[in-house]
Amino acid sequence: MKKFWIVVVIVAVIAVAGFCVSRLRTFFGNHDNRPITSGSANDIKPFNPKHVVYEVYGPPGTVANINYLDINAQPQRIDNVPLPWTLSVITTLPSVSVNVVAQANTDQIGCRIVVNDVVKDERSSEGVKAQTFCIVKSA
């Protein structure tokens, strides 16, 4: 019983502090608890679309195995594709990493990556079962 007054004082202090905080919040603040936004953030339309074109080319009759990163940076593989091969995609992502690797059944092959009608990378290769790659780290 001698220490019971300590518990009573602690409870009283917590009650008074809680009351003061609640009064201060209602005295100075807005009573609306919704987030402070205009709602227009949900209405933003995609802008600045990027038109990305992957191209692999070679002599007539050439067949190639092609590996590339899609717009979401996921590896894709296509086997025995007749050349020329083209893949065209449009994205509104702020940055895209584009990569293509191709190996032909002939001695010549080339690749090209075009972003918004501008050639960002182009390479060609010659040799037995020629292989080439093109990469754009940030389009």
**Alpha-carbon torsion angle 54, 74, 82, 56, nearest 10:** 30
For residues 129 and 104, the answer to whether their CB atoms sit within 8 Å is yes
For residues 122 and 112, the answer to whether their CB atoms sit within 8 Å is yes
d(CA 99, CA 81): 17
pTM here? 0.64
Distances in whole angstroms, Cα of residue 27 to Cα of each of 8, 16, 18, 19: 28, 16, 14, 12
Give the pLDDT confidence of 106-121 residue by residue, as tens digits: 999 999 999 999 999 9
Could you please state the CATH topology (level 3) that the domain comprising 50-136 is classified under. Immunoglobulin-like (2.60.40)
Instruction: Specify which residues 53 forms β-bridges with.
Output: 88, 114
Give the pLDDT confidence of 5-54 residue by residue, as tens digits: 888 889 999 999 988 888 877 766 656 666 666 655 566 665 778 899 99
